[in-house]
Amino acid sequence: MSQLRIALAQVNTTVGDITGNAELTVEWTRKAAEAGAHLVVFPEMSLTGYPVEDLSLRKTFAEASKSALEALAVRLDDAGCGEVLTYVGYLDLDEAGVRDAAAALYRGEVVARQFKHHLPNYGVFDEHRYFKPGETLDVVRYHGLDIGMVICEDIWQDGGPVSALGKAGVDLVVAPNASPYERAKDDIRLPLIARRAAEAGAPLVYTNQVGGQDDLVFDGDSLVVGADGTLLARAPQFVEHLLVLDMDLTAGGHAGDGDLAGLHVRRKVLSEEPIPAYEASKEPVISEPLSDEAEVWSALVVGLRDYVHKNGFQSVIFGFSGGIDSAVVAALAADALGGDNVYGVSMPSKYSSEHSKSDASDLARRIGAHFREESVADMVDAYVSQLGLTGLAEENIQARTRGMLLMALSNSDGHLVLATGNKTELAVGYSTIYGDAVGGFAPIKDVFKTHVWQLARWRNAEAEKHGETPPIPENSITKPPSAELRPGQVDTDSLPDYALLDDILDDYVEGDRGYADLIAAGFDPETIDRVVRMVDRAEYKRRQYPPGTKITFKAFGRDRRLPITNAWREGEN
């Protein structure tokens, strides 16, 4: 048996910041070296950040990535990390086109390069638009051990690189990944990696990215799995982490190369001598996965924090209405940025209730946020009287006046405006475009209304468990939701009960089920017709809504792309 100390650098990169990401790579490789690691694996495209989208089509960006890779190899050697075999992801460009690539760096040189073979083209992924698939696999022999590599989707699809490595023979497989979070992904990730390790006939090292990038968030959850499927180590979710473990590996003396399973396997010898025997470190970390609500809350916090900070903001501002949605967004913002960087504005009109104003004030006190009250009554009256507005126009001008007020304060003080709408409202168009839909980011855009309540109760319970003040006023959780744009208004005046509505939306939006399927599921035909029409008519609003963290299988945006001008109607065709 040959010993090898492996490190998984679960880091938070920034798209486009090649210089900063290179610094990050040096910093974390140095940490790995100080921990005695012989090999360290970074996430997919760690040098450029992921996903780079149309940046990949800029030749200047691809060339900068390639140059930075060569320079990084030298920098690592100069930093005293040259003996650590370092796997990094980057963007390549050759005569065939742009490549999602990974490389092995050793002793100041790029000793292996490989291009992603399976290119995902579903959900949020458009990689056929950008990349050309790789057709070669580089296996390096390092201290007598044969190490193969696969990149992200190469383990999520059957056949291809993992199968080829299994036929060629390797002692270890490393897998740089940038796999976005969605609920329950943990349930399929570990079993999948265990199957791939068995297919390769070798342990598999899976390093996943962590952090937020626009509407995506990455949870880390990096893993090492034995050839028999045994979980050997697991990093915590939603934090940067260096996972280190000692492995006893059998050097198989493999020689398979050439064309295997449709790919060309190349081998390169770096060193034959095994690492001298050493005392293994303590037992590796096997972090427990988070509970569902803790996982979702962490995803929303990290997604919000990184969007704010990576885009150069320090603080956020939004309406404190006293309702459940703004309360949950406020609690998320306080957890993400600290209460002192949260600015809440109560904007009462003549229809606002006293409890809404008092609940908003209580919320600010609980989370330590800045708070001010700015009445919109006179501003609204100016529009209403001059234009003679009534009915829906009068209701919407209240929301739009609030939106303008928030944007004015944003421009004045430099805060990022947050939109507080949830997925249910966004689905059925229950929002005012240029009003409550205004903002630069929408933290709960992918959270159904019933789930918003669940998160609120969970967050308050967590606070109580730790002897802290629950951040969300109980009255905001228990009172009937209302936009308060007319006397006595409640949401159920315009919408079905939220529990029923979310059930239908889960089937129609998430499941893409048709009218007949919804009938078969037991929903009332009249309610189905009403909900489906609201959803279909609201596409234009969704196109103009701010980005927000994706947590579900099918978030609005890149996951679900429907035309705005669309004559198809479920149940009529």
The verdict on whether omega for the bond into residue 480 sits within 30 degrees of 0, i.e. cis, is: no
Alpha carbons within 13 angstroms on the beta-carbon side of residue 557 total 20
Alpha carbon distance 464, 461 (integer Å): 5
Alpha carbon distance 209, 417 (integer Å): 27
Token pair listed for 227? 């050839």
- The alpha-helical segments, DSSP class H, found in 339-422 are 354-367, 377-387, 391-413
Can you tell me which residue has the tokens 């048996």? 1
Catalytic residue from among 66, 116, 449, 550: 116
Catalytic residue from among 132, 152, 199, 295: 152
Q: Is 81 a catalytic residue?
A: no
Q: Is 95 a catalytic residue?
A: no
C-alpha dihedral over 481, 524, 444, 403, to 10 degrees? Answer: -60
Can you tell me which residue has the tokens 């492996």? 6
Q: Is 44 a catalytic residue?
A: yes
Token pair listed for 41? 């694996």
> Number of H helices and number of E strands within the chain?
18, 20
- 263-269, strands of its sheet edge to edge: 231-234, 223-225, 204-208, 172-177, 145-149, 136-142, 263-269, 258-260
Name which of 171, 185, 68, 74 is nearest 123 in CA terms.
Answer: 185
> Terminal CA-to-CA distance of the chain, rounded, Å?
66
| Residues designated as active site | 44, 116, 152
